[in-house]
Structure 1
Amino acid sequence: MTDFDRRQLLAFTLAAAIPVPVSARQTGGWQARAAMPWVAQEIYCAVSGGKIVVVGGLIGIPGQRERGVEARVGFYDPVTDLWAEGPPLPEARHHPMVVADAGGRLFSIGGYGEGPTGQWTNATEVRVLEEGGWVAGPPLPVPQAEAVGLEARGRIHLVTGRSPNAGSNGNWNDQADVATHQVLTDGRWETLRPAPMARNSAAGAVLDGRLWIAGGRTVAGGGTGRLDRYDPVEDRWETLAPIPFSGAAGQQVGGGLAMVATGGKLVTFGGEWFAPGGGGVFAETWIYDPASDGWSRGPDMKSPRHGLAAAAVNGVAYAIGGSSLVSSGQTTGIVEALSL
């Protein structure tokens, strides 16, 4: 599927978004850190043993239909600002969910791989990093990529994303937006209450023992800034104040963004938007305070990107890799950090 085809599907029925009031911009700024040893977008990461672990990804090749799919795994040490390469995945994957369980074990869940008909074959394989390499974990009952993967209260949750539509599974447009909520507990997957809205490419974080799902987009409606919170004890969802509208882009912050939880707040940044003839990436950083159910403007990203990985370690948010242009136009290995 060409980049133009993908933009067409996402662009022409963009939903109208209404700006919401926000407080004054906060001070501080993003600072450069050691870049990844390779470039990758459509990536996720997890923190284990104080290291940030990035798995797989997509390598956009400007002007070409084909893209490279990565199997490499990177370990970043925020203390030394150094990268090391870990054991690669058995299969190259982009959009794999990367989650550390309560004991620090790393899981690479699903994602897209190369199949007979394309590079968007939605996978069910789950891999667990053991000493010496990745081993098979409990496979997903239903493929679910471009999702949000989080660990809370000893269980791994997989929420929203895209699953194969009508049996086809190989190309981007074979997938449909879903509100599915799968959870891994005691070595098996179960289904819990679905998210309030089906969408893909949202961001997530765990704060106060609850799951927070922000942004995302739908093929039919474009970016959504909605913020949903899930209580795993009560198995209950509620919807809170949305991410503010981007006045600079004239678009609602939606798909391909990243989010972390730190200091009792949520921090979102990045993402992309599509429009006829082009699109762009969002520069804004938004900070959400659960106490007031309100957003404030943080420092704009030094290098705006989408499809990036994000993690927080010791009060510092890290933005890793991604693409500096809408779709797969300019894949990067940029790493920047924001102290809060």
Structure 2
Amino acid sequence: MKPSTVLLSLPLVASVEASPFGQRNAQPNFRWTDLPPVGNGAPIQEHGTTATDTHIYLLGGISPNANASIPAIQSRDTFEAYSLEDGTWEKLPPIPEAFTHINAAAIDGKVYVLGGLTGDGADRVWRSTRDSFVYDIASHVWSDLPPMPEGQGRGSAAIGISGDIIYLAGGLDRLEIGGEQLTLDIVTAYDTKKGTWTTLPSLPAPRDHVGGAIIGNKFWVVGGRDHGQVNVRNTTWSLDLKAPEKGWKAHAEMPTARGGLAFGVTGDYIATFGGEGNPDPASNGVFNETEVYSIKEDKWFKQPAMPHPRHGTAAASVNGRIYIPGGGIVLGSGPVDTFDTFELSP
């Protein structure tokens, strides 16, 4: 299938306020590009996403459900990769354990799974696990890692990578469909070379289904939810990794509070997409918002809406493009195989 491209040339904001590109009244292009469906047509949601310079990797998630209005629970052990060069998907050796809401990261030719949630559908509950694994891309082999420290197992955390270290902020300890959702505020770092964990200052408040990335020396954590799908938040926080003892700093708030959003980085800008918890009855509980934050200006800018609104996905940023695979189209569920990219250009 040949990718299609949607080109939009619209102002970032309605006023004459400076654009993220530092030009007043600028008319930048917003480019969305449709890519081959995830897994050649296999819907996926609540999965882990990570990337190298050559591939996008998808891990775990929930099983597709025939009725999109009924949340699916069964965790998956699927592992697949999209070649940025060939534009094709391939199945890889399954994860040693079925996961959903995976904390995934790729460093130095390896893909890491650091905890997540598990559930077999018997009691409509996902529970956290500390189990962790690493996949060697060259040898195509999974290996066990020591489990996450006691009390730190969780899924759906904000994830950042700096050098050999993977940072996790917040996360979800337990998710009961239609019931309790236990959100955490803990922040930890895993050194992939030493195999050791470090605890950092906790978030100012609990967050799960939250966006995260490291830009320069700062760990950014944006949006998310706090103990439930409708308890969405619009906070923007950063932690200076050179002086973590100073704690988290608050910045300009995201215009639309959202959880389950996709999150990417291009240059000095953070981009957020979609999410869950929309109170508008016509939305099926899903946001279509695309909003970009300028780190240098500490300002948010609304962008044109997503062509394919969804939640429960995770994005990966590679060479200025933000890749957004899969996701759900109704509150709590509705997996799809949609796959597209977003780019900003001056």
TM-score between both structures, scaled by the size of structure 1: 0.83
| Pick aligned residue for 1:239 from 243, 246, 250 | 250
The match for 2:98 is: 92
Shift of 1:318: 1.1
The residue that corresponds to 1:261 in the other structure is 265
Q: Does 1:70 align with 2:81?
A: no
**CA 1:337–1:65 in structure 2 vs 1: closer, same or farther (change >3 Å)?**
closer
Letter in 2 for 1:240: H
- The CA distance in 2 between the partners of 1:177 and 1:238, in whole Å, is 20
Tell me how far apart the structure 2 counterparts of residues 64 and 271 of structure 1 sit (CA, whole Å). 18
Q: Which runs of 5+ in 1 are unaligned?
A: 1-20, 246-251
Q: Which amino acid aligns with 1:205?
A: A
Asked whether the equivalents of residues 26 and 296 of structure 1 are also in contact (C-alpha less than 8 Å), the reply is: no
Q: Which of 200, 203, 209 matches 1:201?
A: 209
| Corresponding position of 1:280 | 285
Q: 2:30 aligns with which of 10, 28, 31?
A: 28
* Alpha-carbon distance in 2 for matches of 1:43, 1:287: 23
Cα deviation 1:110-156 (Å, max 9, x = unaligned)? 11112675540211101100223221112112212121122124311
CA distance in 1, matches of 2:304, 2:48: 22
Judged with a 3 Å threshold, the aligned counterparts in structure 2 of structure 1 residues 29 and 284 are, in CA distance, closer, same or farther, namely farther
Identical-pair percentage: 26
Would you identify which runs of 4 or more consecutive aligned residues in structure 1 move more than 4 Å? 21-26, 63-66, 115-119, 169-175, 274-279
- Which has the larger share of strand? 1
- Structure 2 residue 326 is the aligned partner of structure 1 residue 324: no
Q: What SS does structure 1 have at the residue aligned with 2:61?
A: strand
Q: Name which of 90, 107, 110 aligns with 2:112.
A: 107
- What is residue 335 of structure 1 aligned with on the other side? 339
Residues 322, 119 of structure 1: CA spacing in aligned structure 2 closer, same or farther, 3 A cutoff?
Answer: same
**Alignment CA distance shift 1:65-1:267 (3 Å):** closer
Residue 46 (structure 1) aligned to one of 34, 43, 50: 50
SS in 1 for 2:250: strand
Other-structure match for 2:12 = none
* Cα displacement string for residues 231-269 of structure 1 (whole angstroms, at most 9, x for unaligned residues): 111013211111113xxxxxx3x1100111112211111
* Alpha-carbon distance between aligned partners in 1 of 2:170 and 2:28, rounded to the nearest angstrom: 31
Q: Is the 2:324–2:341 Cα contact (8 Å) retained in structure 1? A: yes
Aligned ranges 1:141-220 → 2 under 5 Å: 141=149, 142-163=152-173, 173=179, 175-185=181-191, 186-219=194-227
Distance 2:290 2:177 in 1: 32
Structure 2: which amino acid aligns with 1:327? Answer: G
Residue from 293, 300, 307 that aligns with 1:302 = 307
Go from structure 1 to structure 2 and tell me whether the alpha carbon gap of 1:327 and 1:65 turns closer, same or farther (over 3 Å shift): closer
Q: TM-score, normalised by structure 2?
A: 0.81
Q: Find the counterpart in structure 2 of residue 248 from structure 1.
A: none
Distance across 2 between alignment mates of 1:263 and 1:149: 18
In 2 relative to 1, CA 64–288 (structure 1 residues): closer, same or farther, beyond 3 Å?
Answer: closer
Q: Which residue of 1 aligns with 2:317?
A: 312
Give the Cα–Cα distance (whole angstroms) in 2 for the partners of residues 275 and 303 of structure 1.
18
Contact 2:63 2:72 in 1 (8 A): no
Q: How far apart, in 1, do the equivalents of 2:81 and 2:64 lie?
A: 22
Shift of 1:28: 2.1
Q: Deviations over 1:185-227 (max 9, x none)?
A: 2212221111112111111112113211110011267111111
Larger displacement relative to structure 2 (118-127 or 63-72): 63-72
Distance 1:49 1:153, change over 3 A: closer
**How many angstroms does 1:55 deviate by?**
0.4
- Alignment check: 8 A CA contact 2:310 2:328 kept: yes
**Amino acid corresponding to residue 153 of structure 2 in structure 1:** P
User: Following the alignment from structure 1 to structure 2, what is the Cα–Cα distance between the partners of residues 314 and 66?
Assistant: 34
Amino acid of the residue matched to residue 38 of structure 2? M
**Aligned partner of 2:274: which letter?**
G
Q: 1:59 aligns with which of 43, 51, 63?
A: 63
- Closer, same or farther: CA 65–212 of 1 in aligned 2, 3 Å: closer
Equivalent of residue 140 in structure 2, options 121, 132, 135: 132
Distance 1:28 1:275 in 2: 27
**TM-align CA RMSD:** 2.4
CA contact (8 A) 1:120 1:172 kept: no
User: Structure 2: any 5+ residue segments left out of the alignment?
Assistant: 1-14, 20-26
| Inter-partner Cα distance in structure 2 for 1:276 and 1:337 | 26
Deviation of 1:26 (Å): 5.1
Q: Does 1:292 align with 2:292?
A: no
- Answer yes or no: is the 8 Å Cα contact 1:273–1:279 preserved in 2: no
2:235 counterpart of 1:226:
yes
Q: Higher relative contact order by CA 8 Å / sep ≥ 6: 1 or 2? A: 1
